Amino acid sequence: MTRTQEHQTVHEIDIAAPVDVVYGIIADPTRWPRYFTPTVHVERTMLDTETERLRIWATGNTVVRAWTSIRAIDPERHQVSFRQEVSAPPVKSMSGCWTVRPVDEGVQLVLTHDFEAVDDDPAHVEWITKGTNENSTVELANIKRLAESWGRLRELEFSFEDSLVIHAPAADIYDFLQDAARWPERLPHVAGLDLRETDAGVQQMSMWTRAKDDSTHLTESVRVCFPHDRIVYKQLVTPVLINAHTGAWLIEPAEDGVVVRAQHTILLNEEAVGTIPAAGLTVESTRDFVRASIGGNSRATLGFAKAYAEAL
C-alpha cells in the first residue's frame, strides 16, 4: 500500500509586540472570526486543561468549509499545535503548529502546516497549497496589525445586543430568520438579497441595506444555521467604518414563547473614523453611530419576525 505524500508550508512574520499579546491572540480561538479574515465561526470544547476541540468554519478559495481540530496548548513555550480530527475533502489530513519566538524587537511568529491530499491528486495538492498560503498570509498580517495596536483595541472593539419576547414557537421564528431570501419582501431596510446555500446549514449572502436617506450599501456574509435555536454569521464585506462584524440570532425558551436576541461584536476601522460626517470625529461617536445603525436594523428585523410568527 503506497503511503500518501505529506506536504508542508511554513509562514513567518516579525511583530513588534510582547510575546504574551501575540500568544494570547492565537490561544483564544473564540475571537478568531473578528481577527482572522477567513474564519467565520469557531465552536470550542475543552477536553482537559491542555487540550481543546475546535469546530471551525472558514473560507478558502472563496468556498466555505468546516472541519474539526484538536489543539494542544503550551503557554510556557508559547506554542499551540493542532491536527484536524475531521478534515474536509480535498484535504485528507492536516496538522501544524503556531510558535511565538522572542527576538530583539519583539517576536517572530511561525505558522507551519503539514497536510496530505485525497488520492495524492496534484490538483488537490495545488488547491490546498494555494488556500493554505493565502489564508496563512492573511492571518499573520492580521495578527501583526492587531498585536502592534493592542492598546487601541479595547476602544475599537465593542459588543451589544437587542432582544424581544415573541409569543410563538421557536421553529416559526427560526424559519423567518433562516429564510433570508424573502427578506426583501418582508423587511423595508433590505433593498435586495442574493442567498446561496453552499452546504447544509451554511449560507453565503449578499445584501443591499437601505439607509434612512434611501442610499444603499452592500454587505457580504456567511451564516451558519443551527435549527432551531441559533444562526451565527460573519460579514466578509463590511461598511467602511467597520473592519469586522460578527453576530448571532439566538432563540431561547421563555414563558409563553421565546426570547430572541440579536448579538453583535464590532471592530471599528480606525482609519475611517472622522471620514463620515454623520458618524462624528471620534471613536466614541463612531461607536454610537454604528450601534444605532446596526441595532436599528436588528430591532426592526425582530419586530417583523414577531409580527410574522405571532400571526401564524
Candidate CATH numbers 3.40.50.300, 3.30.530.20, 3.10.129.10, 3.40.640.10; the one for domain 154-311: 3.30.530.20
Q: What is the pLDDT of residue 1?
A: 47
Q: State yes or no: pLDDT of 233 exceeds 50.
A: yes
**Region 189-195: what's the mean pLDDT?**
96
Residues 26 and 100: beta-carbon distance below 8 Å: yes
Instruction: Give the domain ranges of the chain.
Output: 7-148, 154-311
Q: State yes or no: pLDDT of 31 exceeds 50.
A: yes
Spell out the CATH class of 7-148: alpha beta
Q: What is the pLDDT of residue 167?
A: 96
Q: What is the pLDDT of residue 24?
A: 94
Model confidence at 3, pLDDT cuts 50, 70, 90, reads low
Q: State yes or no: pLDDT of 158 exceeds 80.
A: yes
* Percentage of residues in the chain having pLDDT higher than 70: 99
Q: What is the pLDDT of residue 113?
A: 97
Residue identified by cell 427578506 is 183
Q: DSSP labels for 22-48?
A: HHHHHH-GGGHHHH-TTEEEEEEEESS
Q: State yes or no: pLDDT of 263 exceeds 50.
A: yes
**Region 142-158: what's the mean pLDDT?**
89
**Which has more pLDDT, 146 or 309?**
309
For 71, half-sphere exposure in the C-beta direction (CA atoms, 13 angstrom radius) is: 24
Q: What is the pLDDT of residue 127?
A: 94
Q: What is the pLDDT of residue 154?
A: 81
Backbone angles phi, psi at 272, to 5 degrees: -95, -10
Residue 232, C-beta contacts closer than 8 angstroms, at least 6 positions apart: 41, 223, 224, 226, 246, 247, 248
* Percentage of residues in the chain having pLDDT higher than 90: 81
Model confidence at 2, pLDDT cuts 50, 70, 90, reads low
Backbone angles phi, psi at 302, to 5 degrees: -60, -40
Residues 246 and 233: beta-carbon distance below 8 Å: yes
The CB density around residue 118, as the number of other CB atoms within 10 Å, is: 15
Q: What is the pLDDT of residue 140?
A: 94
Condensed to tens digits (0 to 9), the pLDDT of residues 169-187 reads 999 999 999 999 999 999 9
For 191, half-sphere exposure in the C-beta direction (CA atoms, 13 angstrom radius) is: 12
Give the Cα separation of 251 and 309 in Å (integer).
13
Domain 7-148 identical in fold to domain 154-311: yes
Mean pLDDT, all residues of the chain: 93
